[in-house]
């Protein structure tokens, strides 16, 4: 089936609805939540949860896969394409508030990638319940950042109670507080904690564990004060003799010859890195559209179609940003199309993440530069978009790490051969 670059009708309709949400519920309050870090936008959360339930969503949102049209024809799968379009539209509104969107997030994606059918049914169904529910993924440690295979959080089987006992420290857990802390307004959230069942086995010993909210021995030790996406909580977590049921392990309970546990973690990123890229495209589009509006207000029109030597410097800059933005989005489209059609997208996922991280940073920086002192001031949101942009190049695999992934895929090298 050939890739389609024109978005299907259901995606276009969803984008129109989300444009109103992004404009009225997110963009209008971006500055407030930027200045009140970690304040939870409850009305937005409750509205979005109700809206997603009405549309049959569960917060994970690869949907519309293989359904039949009214004419009886089988539709092409568009679940991840739909999700990418939704994320891009919401991040045009505010990327920090997008991260407050109720649903499974990375935690559910980890269960989706590495869990058994029974685990998927058990843990993913709760995202369509009456209360908004969050899930997070906890993998990064102080000594294991980009090299996730170096994690030291330990999971040991208690043969007497048949439970896993987890000990360790995790940092930079996006949404960790909302996923774990028991607010009255939230459902039963969880965090997928990646730990090793055998420290001598390296990647072979790596497994994900579903840790339910409120589990004794698990504590949110701090919330990070951040440069951008400030309304989104980023938590540090301590696990001291935290016990989880035996069947909460994602994957085999024994060390296999292959690296199935590590592959489960990486499969999560293959699905979500294009979605992170989509969020960066949304931020970049917000900044570029705002710049064009301000230029038009001051009588500057971009004369598309003229030779570059006849354009002003600002016109060339804007056209270059248009090109960068569209190229980044096309790479996202290809990566999510491959995910929908169950094609291996390791290369494309990392390429889209690299491109979007680079483009988002460059566009927002250039917008601030062209706007001058007003771009640098807090009168406009341009400086906020600049601060929000950089995280696109950092979380879920830094630009450097994703460039390594791309190089290994193209050249055929292993992780040991090319570091």
Minimum mean pLDDT among 65-74, 303-312, 374-383: which range?
Answer: 65-74
Residue 334: domain span: 262-411
Q: Which of 107, 110, 65 is nearest to 83 (CA)?
A: 65
pLDDT tens string 123-145: 988 888 888 999 999 999 998 87
Report if residue 172 sits inside a domain: yes
What pLDDT, on the 0 to 100 scale, is given for residue 204? 85
What pLDDT, on the 0 to 100 scale, is given for residue 252? 82
The answer to whether residues 113 and 172 belong to one domain is yes
Q: Mean per-residue pLDDT for 253-265? A: 63
224, 348, 383, 396: which is the annotated catalytic residue?
396
The answer to whether residues 175 and 240 belong to one domain is yes
The answer to whether residues 253 and 131 belong to one domain is yes
Quick one: three-class SS letters along 34-48? Answer: HHCCCCCCHHHHHHH
pLDDT band at 260 (very low <50, low <70, confident <90, very high): low
Q: Which of 121, 106, 137 is nearest to 271 (CA)?
A: 106
418 neighbors 409 (Cβ within 8 angstroms): no
The answer to whether residues 62 and 175 belong to one domain is no
Minimum mean pLDDT among 41-50, 135-144, 242-251, 253-262: which range?
Answer: 253-262
95 neighbors 283 (Cβ within 8 angstroms): yes
The answer to whether residues 209 and 73 belong to one domain is no
As separate numbers, helices (DSSP H) first and strands (DSSP E) second, the chain gives 14, 8
> To the nearest whole percent, how much of the chain has pLDDT over 90?
68
Token couple for 92? 């045009």
Q: What is the CATH number of the domain that holds 281?
A: 1.20.140.10
Write the CB contacts of 15 (distance below 8 Å, at least 6 apart in sequence). Answer: 7, 85, 86, 89
Report if residue 61 sits inside a domain: yes
pLDDT tens string 84-118: 999 999 999 999 999 999 888 889 888 988 889 99
The answer to whether residues 271 and 218 belong to one domain is no
The answer to whether residues 226 and 271 belong to one domain is no
Q: Mean per-residue pLDDT for 192-213? A: 91
Report if residue 16 sits inside a domain: yes
Token couple for 45? 């959360």
Q: Is 64's pLDDT higher than 80?
A: no
pLDDT tens string 12-40: 998 999 999 999 999 999 999 999 999 99
Minimum mean pLDDT among 65-79, 273-287, 308-322: which range?
Answer: 65-79
Q: What 3-state class would DSSP assign to 231?
A: coil
Based on the residue annotation, tell me whether 396 is a catalytic residue of this protein.
yes
Report if residue 1 sits inside a domain: no
Q: What is the CATH number of the domain that holds 199?
A: 2.40.110.10
Q: Mean per-residue pLDDT for 290-310? A: 96
The answer to whether residues 236 and 118 belong to one domain is yes
In terms of DSSP H, where are the helices of 193-308? 260-297
One DSSP character per residue, 201-249 reads GGGGGEEEEEEETT-TTEEEEEE---SS-TTS-EEEEEEEEEEEEGGGE
pLDDT tens string 355-376: 999 999 999 999 999 999 999 9
What pLDDT, on the 0 to 100 scale, is given for residue 266? 67
> To the nearest whole percent, how much of the chain has pLDDT over 70?
91
Q: Mean per-residue pLDDT for 247-269? A: 71
Q: What are phi and psi of 151, to 5 degrees?
A: -60, 145
Taking the C-alpha atoms of residue 133 and residue 233, their distance in angstroms, rounded to an integer, is: 15
Among residues 224, 257, 290, the one where a domain terminates is 257
Q: What are phi and psi of 165, to 5 degrees?
A: -110, 120
Taking the C-alpha atoms of residue 173 and residue 139, their distance in angstroms, rounded to an integer, is: 8
Taking the C-alpha atoms of residue 109 and residue 113, their distance in angstroms, rounded to an integer, is: 6
pLDDT band at 416 (very low <50, low <70, confident <90, very high): confident
Residue 144 is given by DSSP the state B
The answer to whether residues 57 and 127 belong to one domain is no
Q: What 3-state class would DSSP assign to 367?
A: helix
The answer to whether residues 144 and 269 belong to one domain is no
The answer to whether residues 214 and 320 belong to one domain is no
Between helix 260-297 and helix 105-114 the angle, nearest 10°, is: 140
Q: What 3-state class would DSSP assign to 145?
A: coil
- 199 compared with 156, residue with greater pLDDT: 156
115 neighbors 123 (Cβ within 8 angstroms): yes
Taking the C-alpha atoms of residue 136 and residue 174, their distance in angstroms, rounded to an integer, is: 6
Report if residue 419 sits inside a domain: no
pLDDT band at 271 (very low <50, low <70, confident <90, very high): confident
Taking the C-alpha atoms of residue 80 and residue 64, their distance in angstroms, rounded to an integer, is: 9
Minimum mean pLDDT among 2-16, 94-108, 197-211: which range?
Answer: 2-16
Report if residue 356 sits inside a domain: yes
- 261 compared with 78, residue with greater pLDDT: 78
Among residues 103, 122, 151, the one where a domain terminates is 103
What pLDDT, on the 0 to 100 scale, is given for residue 61? 45
- 357 compared with 10, residue with greater pLDDT: 357
Among residues 103, 125, 154, the one where a domain terminates is 103
For the chain, the domain total comes to 3
Q: Is 215's pLDDT higher than 50?
A: yes
Pairing of strands 249-250, 234-245: unpaired
What pLDDT, on the 0 to 100 scale, is given for residue 344? 92
pLDDT band at 182 (very low <50, low <70, confident <90, very high): confident
Please give the mean pLDDT across all residues of the chain: 90
**Per-residue b/e over 192-224, b at no fewer than 16 CB within 10 Å?**
bbbbbbbeeeebbbbbbbbbbbebeebebeeeb
Report if residue 13 sits inside a domain: yes
Token couple for 11? 């995606």
Token couple for 407? 């190089």
Report if residue 291 sits inside a domain: yes
pLDDT band at 267 (very low <50, low <70, confident <90, very high): low
What pLDDT, on the 0 to 100 scale, is given for residue 147? 73
pLDDT band at 255 (very low <50, low <70, confident <90, very high): confident
> Where do we find the tokens 């400030």?
230
Q: Is 168's pLDDT higher than 90?
A: yes
Taking the C-alpha atoms of residue 362 and residue 341, their distance in angstroms, rounded to an integer, is: 32
The answer to whether residues 51 and 128 belong to one domain is no
């Amino acid at each position: 089936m050939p890739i389609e670059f024109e978005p299907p009708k259901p995606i276009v309709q969803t984008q129109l609805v989300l444009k109103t949400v992004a404009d009225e519920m997110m963009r209008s309050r971006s500055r407030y939540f930027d200045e009140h870090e970690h304040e939870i936008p409850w009305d937005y959360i409750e509205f979005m949860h109700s809206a997603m339930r009405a549309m049959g969503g569960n917060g994970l949102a690869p949907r519309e896969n293989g359904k039949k049209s009214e004419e009886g024809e089988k539709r092409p799968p568009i679940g991840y394409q739909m999700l990418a379009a939704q994320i891009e539209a919401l991040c045009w509104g505010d990327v920090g508030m997008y991260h407050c969107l109720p649903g499974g997030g990375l935690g559910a994606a980890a269960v989706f990638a590495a869990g058994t059918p029974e685990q998927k049914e058990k843990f993913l169904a709760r995202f369509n319940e009456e209360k908004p529910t969050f899930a997070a993924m906890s993998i990064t440690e102080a000594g294991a950042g980009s090299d996730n295979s170096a994690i030291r959080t330990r999971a040991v089987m208690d043969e007497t109670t048949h439970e896993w006992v987890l000990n360790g420290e995790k940092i930079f857990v996006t949404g960790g507080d909302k996923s774990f802390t028991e607010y009255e307004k939230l459902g039963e959230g969880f965090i997928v904690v990646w730990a090793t069942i055998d420290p001598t086995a390296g990647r072979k010993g790596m497994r994900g564990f579903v840790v339910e909210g409120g589990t004794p021995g698990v504590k949110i030790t701090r919330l990070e004060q951040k440069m951008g996406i400030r309304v989104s909580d980023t938590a540090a977590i301590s696990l001291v003799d935290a016990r989880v049921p035996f069947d909460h392990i994602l994957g085999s309970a024994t060390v296999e010859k292959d690296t199935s546990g590590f592959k489960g973690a990486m499969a999560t990123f293959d699905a979500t890195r294009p979605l992170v890229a989509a969020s960066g495209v949304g931020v970049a589009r917000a900044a570029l559209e705002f710049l064009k509006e301000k230029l038009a207000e001051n009588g500057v029109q971009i004369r598309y179609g003229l030779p570059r030597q006849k354009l002003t410097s600002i016109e060339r800059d804007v056209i270059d940003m248009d090109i960068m933005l569209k190229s980044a989005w096309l790479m996202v489209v290809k990566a999510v199309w491959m995910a929908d059609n169950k094609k291996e997208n390791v290369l494309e996922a990392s390429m889209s993440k690299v491109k979007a991280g680079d483009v988002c940073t460059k566009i927002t920086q250039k917008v601030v530069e062209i706007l001058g002192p007003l771009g640098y001031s807090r009168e406009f949101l341009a400086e906020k978009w600049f601060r929000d942009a950089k995280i696109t190049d950092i979380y879920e695999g830094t630009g450097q790490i994703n460039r390594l992934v791309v190089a290994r895929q193209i050249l055929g090298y292993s992780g040991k051969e090319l570091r």
